[in-house]
Structure 1
Amino acid sequence: MTADNSYGRLDDDDYPAYTTGRAAEILGTTQGFLRAVEGARLITPLRSEGGHRRYSRRQLRIAARARELVDRGTSIEAACRIVVLENRLEDARRGNAEGRRSAVSVSPTAVA
């Protein structure tokens, strides 16, 4: 990959840019916590050619939400389940909003 086309990935939330150590540092947690949320199947980091975990910004946000819950006393398994359910709820709300917008944009005469 050349420098010219790699700069476009700087804004990509799904680009696996962070090593486990750096991700843990950013989140203020341990590498073990990241392995635990991976083990709970909340996030699945990509692997480098050498087999090292690489995390995206989106994955770090998800792990950060789980960390908030754990810091409040929720078990890691429960925190991961809560985050999954929160994400599903947000997806459903987004889908409902899109459906309402589509229904409004349809002309009443076109329906008849």
Structure 2
Amino acid sequence: MRINLSEKQMAEIIRIVQKELFIKAIVPTDEYLFIHCFSKKQKETVYYHLLTENDSLIIRCYARVIDNFGLTIIIRSTAKNVLEYLINQTGFQNTIYIENGLEFKF
């Protein structure tokens, strides 16, 4: 289920993501908050889906990270910063980060 954020929270999410990635679009869908990004240095497209499920905050990331360690670090660091911000704002303690179908722990 999509997480509902205030305008201030959305602005902060945008600020966090734009430190490393260029945001092409940020669109709330019925199921998740869709963030379409572009890596400034690696010239790759990155997609984040931000949602809640069973009292957990979830970020799913889709990006072409094969043999691109620099991009991997950037997208995980960005996701971690977004999760940390939202934990403080929403009170969710359970968080899940899924990158290209694989779950990772921070």
Q: Which band: TM-score by shorter chain?
A: under 0.3
Greater Rg by CA: 1
Q: Where is the helix percentage greater, Structure 1 or Structure 2? A: 1
TM-score for both structures, normalised by structure 2: 0.26
TM-score for both structures, normalised by structure 1: 0.25
